[in-house]
Structure 1
């Protein structure tokens, strides 16, 4: 496919936009008669389910000599910047399909962050790397303008904000967020950094900042992801810059960076308590309790990517070792620490149970059919569709709850609890919802509440002996009783072994006030690398996309949370995904040296002779096949990813290398060793 047919550079209809393929005659008519503007039409038509399903590989950008760890479009989508393990930043001229600039950055570590500085006419580029430095370059003159050495560990990401064209921020694995203002003279010296905006060290043990993003609408809000399950959103208006001064002897040899990081991690630097309301926490409700248990199993959580939606109302968090979660920025009532109270009144409760629409009933029936076949993943997808049409149906929530309990993926037990509680609130006479609510509470180990609901179950159904004496209920009740007894016997003293600092007390309060998620997106795997991105697709964020350890990238429908497309995007791992600002194009990168561009294929390209070559062959590995292959057996691929999520990551890396070696040997290719950049 020609690139001009996708971008339509210089089109009389508009400067940008995929206008060669229209999926809605009605929208065309409205645009033709002036009922909607060309900009509105372009935004409404940028991405649709049809376009996503026709998505395919149309171009590869070759030139890097290492893993490509970061990619970034400029404001209008004419240029794409990429940073790599080869220590170079490359600027790609997309309309002309060629490399425009190659910047020898001088970094001595892998490049993990790259951004165009707003308001610079795309002439200024920022890079951040594993050598702990952040560098600013004039692209046209191939000149380094600044080199900042404030971080004392790897710098993972850079953030910019359109309202502050001379200011940008970096997030590093030293637990610091540093602010840079190019209008001011350099404020730091060899011993002291005076530009610390956020310091997580007083609040966490060995924190590492992995991701950072600025709200595109309320630009004073900044989201930060670190090495736990909490996404933090700060109000920059209420933050003050602070300083960190390191001892002199930590600069006398080549190990100075390591020495400074070790000192920073072990010393609680003096930091003023933050103002009330300066930060808000978000977390999936089941993870704070699960976090310590997971660490004991050498499975740590980290927020590998945070993104704000285009309207600034939502935050998307890709949690390493878990799933992808969508939060509401303005959420005030849906707290992580909420209780599931008996008899709690809710505005959702209604005496008139909602009738399921015809469309919803068809999807419910299909969901029931797949559930009885044992295909719980497909059953959940059909229940998701049905709930879009009948969102107040107690039966649908109850059915999805039991399917989630049976599927047993990460986060399913907690989502089942939420669904069962919603089903009960909508219809308190739904005994199945009542039982599944008790089951959900037991699965997330909220034993006290489970016991209370068991007692309520007895009160309501004592006159129906077949319910309270059923083997399943009796077994569940005994499990709860045993767990409560074990907890009482093994209960430790609540007395503090040491007095908590003001910072630690503040952190506890923030975590207790954290807001719970609205939606979750499952199927991918995020365990091997800590730069794996997830993002919104479409001007209104109609879709969610993310990379995966299986070499594929996934696209979900945002409303239903169902998978729409899974494509093989890298020979090892897809880490980065960036949607084009205005056109139907996605840029991806990963362990391979290439940056790949994806766009909807023309209708005429989908013929019977070509289509089978683009799909995984029968009997193949779940996500096998050449780059660009559509993963057809999605259920098998997602099941395999969930197994990967709970397996030892180093075992999986070795297994993948052995599999790749076997595949290459069959094709006559010799592999000398395992991939050298699989762990980041």
Structure 2
């Protein structure tokens, strides 16, 4: 565990009374503390599965929503039920939220009956009922800066905004995803940045997560209403629902390409939960059917696969990166315009700066990782290589070795992480032979067959002595077979369609993707770290969250992937399946001591845990 000088914070805690809680939230999360965490109590009260939990700001109240259409407010410190009321919903409750600055008096619920209800807990009455959605309401979001305003995400593809001061019966549509992704898109989750309440994150069906600037959207609509020509448009005019710059997309770089494969395996990619870090600089995304991803909102990076050209070595000729009309590719793949600047690796230099030797303690870590690799303990090897990479980020060999471990393990997303490591190793050492070859294999496994062939040819040119090795010949045969198989399939499609180009997007309005959506997807940013869950990745109720506010340090706990700047202080926790109709609390595991559940941020990681059902 990294050493931190906390003298200044200790002095501020003594001087400022309000600094005590901030100090606790910042420094109470340590590796030993996390290892002691365990079940403290089960709160019995619901007669149906518990779908959602929500802490108040102080962390001394816990609200729960259930399939029994009741909400319960608990005293978690004493394991007592303080209040139980029927919400008026006629279906499962999926989300509960305390309205900010209301003295924990106002609670908002969203349910599968497409309704959003507002309740006054002091009188146990429902004071507002909204029925504007046409499908299940999956998530409610609030913002401290706007105490009378909240938002909802529903499976009708709409994000609605509610202002209790202006209208207590109706809401306005803030974002309509159907205008971008067709009528079949479903909004699943949303959250507001705690440091910038104008920033709204939305998760929906599909691999992309969207960030919106609420203020820009409102200003855009006000300017449209005030414009003298707002009601006069020619036939060719098209009013954009969102202004330029109001939306930013994030996606794990390998998911758009893998989407058809996942669909064939009946694995639905959908964002089940999104949340910002306490300082608002990171976004944690839970992908149902896949893994958990952390996006850095400050230091953004483009997906590596977006930099690759989408070519097709068929009868069509490639001109300026595009196929001629007798080909079948126009540069669009899975909703992405992939750049056509050609796949080129760094040229080998006559003089390459020598690799700095690892210090003795990191050399021991590397040897332990090599031993784990030899014993086919891939996850352990990855964790050890990651530990070494964190301490020696400019060592190409470590990246190359970790890429090999990823490729051997073959979990979802491993080949893409291996591709990232190979490119990093090559950037540090352009003469890294194994990284060049592994890169070609990764491209092939990620279905970039033409790019894999080009990379393999580049490898043979740089390392002619390896051009006829058994591994190189085997990869060449795999690539050739894949290209022939692909061309055969395209010829059959072309024959069936009259010889014209293959349509890459459906003409059906229900699932059509707009040009604006294509551009936004093209400009997406990649993840920083990936977390592999220890339970079923196909659940649609997975919720990982941040844990504490300690400064970022590295730790290998609960990790299965890249080295993390997010320590155990922000350990993602995947949902498990305890008995239904119960709410679980976890404690520190210290005999004779109760966990300090009043620390709101530290306890946000324990979300609703329930058995998957058809209503989830």
* The two structures share one fold, judged by TM-score above 0.5: yes
Give the one of 265, 276, 281 matched to 1:308. 276
| 1:328-407 paired onto structure 2 within 5 Å | 328-335=296-303, 337-339=306-308, 341-344=343-346, 351-407=353-409
Give the one of 46, 52, 55 matched to 1:70. 52
- Tell me by how many angstroms 1:29 deviates: 6.6
Give the one of 70, 85, 99 matched to 1:88. 70
The whole-number CA distance in structure 1 between the counterparts of 2:444 and 2:559 is 32
- The aligned residue for residue 677 of structure 1 is 613
Q: Is this contact kept in 1: 2:292–2:532, CA < 8 A? A: yes
What is the CA RMSD across the aligned residues, in angstroms? 3.4
- Tell me by how many angstroms 1:597 deviates: 1.2
Compute the TM-score of the two structures, normalised by the length of structure 2. 0.78
Q: Is this contact kept in 2: 1:216–1:308, CA < 8 A? A: yes
User: Is 417-426 or 496-505 further displaced after alignment?
Assistant: 496-505
- The aligned residue for residue 578 of structure 1 is none
- Counterparts in 2 of 1:344 and 1:35: CA distance versus 1, 3 Å: farther
The unaligned stretches of length 5 or more in structure 2 are 222-237, 309-341, 495-499, 594-609
The whole-number CA distance in structure 1 between the counterparts of 2:88 and 2:41 is 29
Give the one of 583, 596, 605 matched to 1:595. 583
- Tell me by how many angstroms 1:333 deviates: 4.1
- Counterparts in 2 of 1:604 and 1:93: CA distance versus 1, 3 Å: closer
- Counterparts in 2 of 1:521 and 1:350: CA distance versus 1, 3 Å: farther
Matched, 1:440 2:442: yes
- Tell me by how many angstroms 1:56 deviates: 1.3
- Counterparts in 2 of 1:350 and 1:458: CA distance versus 1, 3 Å: closer
Compute the TM-score of the two structures, normalised by the length of structure 1. 0.71
Higher relative contact order, structure no. (Cα contacts within 8 Å, ≥ 6 residues apart): 2
- Counterparts in 2 of 1:404 and 1:110: CA distance versus 1, 3 Å: same
| 1:194-273 paired onto structure 2 within 5 Å | 195-205=172-182, 206-240=184-218, 272-273=240-241
Deviations 1:202-244 (A, max 9, x none): 22241111111001112111111111111111111122599xx
Matched, 1:285 2:267: no
| 1:21-100 paired onto structure 2 within 5 Å | 38=20, 41-100=23-82
- Counterparts in 2 of 1:234 and 1:562: CA distance versus 1, 3 Å: closer
Matched, 1:131 2:113: yes
The whole-number CA distance in structure 2 between the counterparts of 1:88 and 1:38 is 36
The unaligned stretches of length 5 or more in structure 1 are 1-22, 189-193, 243-269, 546-552, 576-589, 606-673
- Tell me by how many angstroms 1:485 deviates: 3.4
Give the one of 532, 548, 553 matched to 2:542. 532
Secondary structure in 1 aligned to 2:178? coil
The whole-number CA distance in structure 2 between the counterparts of 1:115 and 1:316 is 19
- Tell me by how many angstroms 1:487 deviates: 3.0
- Counterparts in 2 of 1:372 and 1:420: CA distance versus 1, 3 Å: same
Q: Is this contact kept in 1: 2:385–2:398, CA < 8 A? A: yes
Q: Is this contact kept in 2: 1:208–1:227, CA < 8 A? A: yes
Q: Is this contact kept in 2: 1:555–1:564, CA < 8 A? A: no
How many residue pairs were aligned? Answer: 528
Deviations 1:30-65 (A, max 9, x none): 666669864564233221111111111122211111
Secondary structure in 2 aligned to 1:158? strand
- The aligned residue for residue 602 of structure 2 is none
| 1:631-646 paired onto structure 2 within 5 Å | none
